Chains A and B, each alone.
Chain A
Amino acid sequence: MALFGGVLLAAGIMLYLLEPVLSGRSAPLYRGGDEHDESAARRRVALAALRDLEYDRATGKVDGEDYERLRTELSREALVQLEPEPTQGDSAVASASRALEDEIATIRRALREGLQCVGCRRLNDFGAKYCGGCGERLRTARATRSKSRNGERS
């Protein structure tokens, strides 16, 4: 009985392994859409670093010259990786890059809204509640948002 089971097992396994060779059934070796686009991956890394930099700016970890220098370097790297335009690149990586860009744009917009005085246009330090130039109360993104929501309702 055990011998019969063993022979059956061996035969089954052999058939399973040889079937692709005998029938010509194959596994994909390369897939066009699967091709890794190093440029897209690099761009995503640069954008993620840029996003983190914006957060670091927002949290006060990086400021002034450091911020400007790093932003210039990272933006240049992200833009350099655009050439040539990835036409058949990894779609997941490309869409991740787009999501990152949206996030960066959102942070920058919020920072502008929160930091730039609507009266005298001065760019204040993060965390400031009042403008250092004219003393006007600065708006935060939350305040701006709720204000616009109220406006929509009325």
Chain B
Amino acid sequence: MTILGETALWIALPVAFWGTAVSFAGGRTGRSELVLSGERTAYALTFLLLVASLGIVAAFLGDRYDYWYVANYSNRELDTYFKVAGLWAGQRGSLVFWTLLLSVFTTIAVYQNRARNREFMPYVAGTLLAILAFLLVVLLFAGVNPFERLGFTPANGRGLNPQLQNYWMTIHPPTLYLGFTAFAVPFAFAVSALLTNRLDSRWIAVTRRWILLSWFFLTMGIIFGMRWAYEELGWGGYWFWDPVENASLLPWLTATAFLHSIQIQQNRGMLKVWNMALVVGTFLLTIFATFLTRSGLIESVHSFAENLKIAYIFLGFMGGTAAFCAVLVVHRLPSLRSENQIQSFLSRESAFLFNNLMLVGIAFAVMWGTLFPLITEGLLGQKINVGPPFYNRVNLPMGLILLALMGIGPVIAWRRASRRNLRKNFVLPCGMAAATLAGLWLAGVRHGMALTTFVLAAFVMTTVVVEFWKGTKARARIAGEGYLVALRGLVRRNQRRWGGYVVHAGVVILFTGLAGSAFDVVQVHEMLPGESATIRSAFGHEYDLTYESLSHSRPRASDDVRENDWRWTALLTVRQGGEQVAVMRPERRFYPVMEEASTEVGIRSTVLEDLYVIPREVDLESGTERATFEFKVLPLVPWIWSGGVIVAVGTLVGLWPAAGAQSAARTSGGRRPASRLAASDAAGRAA
């Protein structure tokens, strides 16, 4: 199976080039048999890449250590579950996996459009196949072939990086990859629209779901990554502005901006060039993310060994794509002219525009910080890293403005809002914000940024709740329905709008959770078995932690490579008000073969806060079993994960197939639209 997989990978390369060539040629010359052959290439490539991926999985499951990739990312002791995940655990396999996902999305896009949007499809297929061909060139010629042999067979492999042996890590990379690769489809449609000069609203209408799908996976991938860092890295945080974390955030930021700005194009025929720039920019940033990880140019917990060959190939591809798209946009500028102008500063367009500026501003700041080590190395000869203080100082104010805009945008009218209208709609949200400020101030909260976040969160949440309440009430009254039926009908009628509000609610909860970090409580205790320590949270909850006992296995590295790890586990009991509420077993693991260590923290979650126990050190030599622990109480961290779930639900509402416009049309008969609108309008005026 493995040899067949390697053969399939080699066959895939000329196939991808064939598909690219015949698709573009078919579109250009109007030869439909070439177009069909190009579309078949997408199916064939998916099949070949599936065979190649199965070949890698078979090598992992069969402990084929004569393959460099398997020998470096697996060993005999590894669970089957992690052996399968070995496909995306290392650079080589993950590139194959990435290519496979892109081919699957290409296949879906081609199949979905086999009988519609036909004038776009030759170029859509050609663009996607060209990206696949590029990835296959990287795989086969940049020294990252996953089927490379060692020339000898080691008795055992090095094993999987212990930090990757975690549930979240098995789903975090694939989810992010799904987000990155799904965005290639809107990009391909944008390129096709530019090539065919079909620059009306169609390409946006066709790709809206793809954009949302990509955004959904990117969001979930980032949140899963945060959860992995929180559970596995053992420092009590979830985001460290690591270059590769940043690389996943960058396309998310521009994709979010794009999701908002396409609404302006659809509603007002504006920002067409800007939208093109955003779709191309977002696609390039998805490639930039993999470039950053795989080139190893910037040090990160995620990055692989430095590989300049890959770096140059990626840079060439990104540069070529950017130049090609820029030329296309300039060439089509007459068709991309704005049809309207912003009428007033007080309008939804304006709010969306500010939202775009903030998102792109944050993206620039993150990009600058991420590339700063490379820039300084080029200019000064040494890498200088910027840390979290830089990102926090620059991005927090912009993030707070974005939060405020989330409350303003949905309530303010399109085109032009009157001051009276604003007063009417903002009285209640502003009142709630003021009440929150007063309440928190009286409760003793003085942290400026956190206070601002909570106040803005109250403001935005009120606008969302009021929107739902008023909408449901109006629909219940108009349609004569009960409130629950009216709410369902309201959402089904405009899933994008109401799904978007749910996403906003999720983001507000997530932001609130992030702001909770201002009130973290941290204590370090050196304890003997039987000793206790007390920690009090920002909410006033008191936890008594008792170090009960210690267990440990194989405290020294063995010469036998199969004895690949040893660990010590502490047993702690947690009491509140004298009553035992939890038992924790934080653990430290050591992997002598890989010369690595990992920390399994103890976490006790409640609705308001997490109690987080980090095992630091233990004294096994003296026989006292004295251990050092770091105890943390982290307020509102569970809100981050709940907010993520709500964001997912909201996005799924937006993605869900709309309540058939067709079914509504079936009941409306075949009357002429003009007469009915005019009649309705006249009746409205008469009333």
Which of A's residues lie within 8 Å of B, judged by CB?
2, 5-6, 9-10, 13, 16-21, 24-31, 34, 36, 38, 41-43, 45, 47-49, 52, 55-56, 58-66, 69-71, 73, 75, 78-79, 82, 85, 92, 94-99, 101-112, 114-116, 123, 126, 140-142, 144-146
Contact = CB atoms under 8 A, between A and B. Distances in A.
Chain B binding surface, main DSSP class: helix
Interface string B113-125: 0111111011000
Contact of B36 (A10, A25, A49, A66): A25
A31 B115 contact: yes
Given A36-B202, A61-B411, A82-B673, A17 B37 contact: yes
B235 interface: no
B418 A65 contact: yes
Interface residues of B, number: 82
Contact of B114 (A27, A47, A61): A27
Contacts of B39: 27
Given A27-B36, A106-B479, A112-B683, 4 more contacts: A10-B7, A25-B36, A27-B32, A41-B200
12 contacts: A2-B4, A5-B3, A9-B8, A21-B34, A41-B201, A59-B471, A85-B674, A94-B673, A95-B668, A99-B664, A102-B668, A141-B477
Q: Which residue among B11, B36, B198 has the maximum number of chain A CB atoms within 10 Å of its CB?
A: B36
Given A34-B118, A66-B417, A103 B201 contact: no
A148 B671 CA distance: 26
Interface stretch (B40-48, B238-246, B644-652): B40-48
B665 A95 contact: yes
Contact of B266 (A6, A10, A26, A45): A45
Nearest to A43: B673
A108 B684 contact: yes
Interface in B499-534: none
Contact of A60 (B116, B266, B470): B470
B380 interface: no
A18 B687 CA distance: 67
B687 A36 contact: no
B424 A63 contact: yes
Contacts of A105: 676, 679-680, 683
B338 interface: no
A101 B673 contact: yes
A20 B33 contact: yes
Q: Which residue among A31, A101, A111 has the maximum number of chain B CB atoms within 10 Å of its CB?
A: A101
A70 B665 contact: no
A26 B32 contact: yes
Nearest to B8: A9
B677 A79 contact: yes
Contact of B33 (A9, A26, A30, A116): A26
B3 A58 contact: no
Contacts of A56: 413
A75 B683 CA distance: 13
A61 B412 CA distance: 9
A106 B664 CA distance: 13
Can you list the 4 inter-chain pairs with the closest CB atoms, starting with the nearest? A95-B665, A99-B664, A26-B32, A96-B661
B678 A45 contact: no
Nearest to B47: A13
A58 B478 contact: yes
B555 interface: no
A60 B202 CA distance: 33
A6 B51 CA distance: 11
Contact of A92 (B7, B47, B662): B662
Contacts of A17: 15, 18-19, 37, 40-41, 44
B44 A111 contact: no
Interface string B423-436: 01100000000000
A99 B114 CA distance: 27
B382 interface: no
Contact of B200 (A26, A36, A99, A144): A36
B263 to A, nearest CB: 10
B616 interface: no
Given A21-B34, A29-B118, A49 B44 contact: no
B477 A110 contact: yes
Contacts of A70: 413-415
B480 interface: yes
Contact of B664 (A28, A73, A102): A102
A100 B114 CA distance: 29
A21 to B, nearest CB: 5
Contacts of B683: 105, 108-109, 112
Contacts of A69: 416
B7 A26 contact: no
A21 B34 CA distance: 6
Nearest to A71: B684
A19 B116 CA distance: 23
A140 B478 CA distance: 8
B30 to A, nearest CB: 6
B9 to A, nearest CB: 11
B681 interface: yes
B300 interface: no
A95 B40 contact: no
Given A6-B7, A10-B11, A13-B48, A101 B676 contact: yes
B205 interface: yes
B677 A75 contact: yes
Contact of A31 (B116, B267, B471): B116
Contacts of B114: 27
Contacts of A13: 11, 15, 44, 47-48
B472 to A, nearest CB: 9
Contact of B44 (A16, A52, A71, A92): A16
Contacts of B676: 98, 101-102, 105
Nearest to B43: A16
Contacts of B322: none
B273 to A, nearest CB: 18
Contacts of A107: 478
A108 B278 CA distance: 39
Contacts of A24: 33
Interface string B264-283: 00110000000000000000
Contacts of B684: 71, 108, 112
A13 B45 CA distance: 9
A112 B687 contact: yes
